Structure 1
Amino acid sequence: MRRDSRRFVQSLDLPPAGSIRELLPAIEQRTGCPIHLLPAPAGSAFGVCGMWIRTVEDMDYIFIHEDTSRAHQDHILAHEIAHILRNHHENPAFSPVSPVPERLFPNIDPEVVRMMLGRSEYTYRDEREAELIGSYLQRHVHRRTRQIADHDRAAETLLRRRT
């Protein structure tokens, strides 16, 4: 699964990015669905730290807890993006959750939700795959960031030598 996940991320041919959030336009282009990031409901009884909802209009909503570090939020985001990219909602083990609990998501009409997946709803394989793909997405971002920084340092060194 590690090798397949790594190959999958490599096959995406993602652009360089300074953060996982900068990859969202490329993910949207690939899936054809706009992605909206929203804070997870405060005090959720479900203990959800990340959740993905796709509406019948093919819009993806990713809910992320704000009461955690930016690094943890980015990890949650990468994990949820992995579920989107692997179409885990098409797994026959999943069925759409309807209606959306209005007390949790008062701004989303329950009639437009195609599916809703919280982390606790995944099969072990899908959850593990999302964690691996999310980690490889994060590596992609950090590798590119390091490469850009290395390139900038090399360019600065060359400029200093010439002056």
Structure 2
Amino acid sequence: MRRRSLRRECRRFVRDLGLPPARSIRDLLPAIESRSGRSIRLEPSPPNSGGGLCGMWIRTVEGIDYIFVNEETSRAHQDHIIAHEAAHILRNHQGSGTLGEVNPVTDRLAPTLDPQVVKMMLGRSDYELHDEREAELIASHLQRHIHHQGPDISAGDPIAETLLRHGR
């Protein structure tokens, strides 16, 4: 899908969610939980978790989606990370991790999480390029919904534009 049409599709997707007004992405999590039918838990990623990991989403067979966020970054960046991972949840993207795989990143992030209950995990470096771009655009539109900064994200969103430009 071309970038321009992907942007339109993502803008339409967020608009069609019918999300309530909110002051932060954290305030939107109950609506996202309702839409996905799964609980969302925010967890800190451990300091120096390696690999430049900013955020990660782990889905369990128990019906819980864990979003791990680097707390050593600004609140604005944390909110964008949460919005990005929430976009993956909303689009039900599939990652590289599956039930029963042993993964050292998961072991470090969630030592109390039983590997047998992990259904799927996404870490930023493991996405297909399309899923990453889609999640980044949806995250930006979620943030725009919160901040009411206008309908077009094609300009003025330095985080999204930088990540899209560098193919992250």
**TM-score normalized with structure 2 length:** 0.80
Code of the aligned partner of 1:130: A
Hey, what's the Cα distance between the residues in 1 that align with 2:127 and 2:43? 21
* Matched residue SS, 2:68: strand
The structural deviation recorded for 1:47 is 1.9
Instruction: Flag the 1:17–1:126 CA change in 2: closer, same or farther, 3 A.
Output: same
The match for 2:134 among 124, 129, 137 is 129
- 1:26-83 per-residue CA deviation (whole Å, 9 max, x = no partner) reads 0000011000000012211222100000001120000000001000000000000000
Q: Does 1:99 align with 2:121?
A: no
**TM-score normalized with structure 1 length:** 0.82
Query: Mind listing any 5+ residue stretches in structure 1 that lack a counterpart?
Result: 145-163
Q: Is the 8 A contact 1:100 1:113 kept in 2?
A: no
Percent identity of equivalent pairs? 64
Considering only aligned residues, what root-mean-square deviation do their CA atoms show, in Å?
Answer: 1.5
Q: Does 1:56 align with 2:61?
A: yes
Rg comparison, structure with higher value: 1
Hey, what's the Cα distance between the residues in 2 that align with 1:104 and 1:18? 28
Q: Would you say how many aligned residue pairs link Structure 1 and Structure 2?
A: 141
Q: Does 1:40 align with 2:45?
A: yes
Code of the aligned partner of 2:75: R
The structural deviation recorded for 1:95 is 4.8
Q: Does 1:6 align with 2:11?
A: yes
Question: Which sits farther off after the overlay, 40-49 or 54-63?
Answer: 40-49
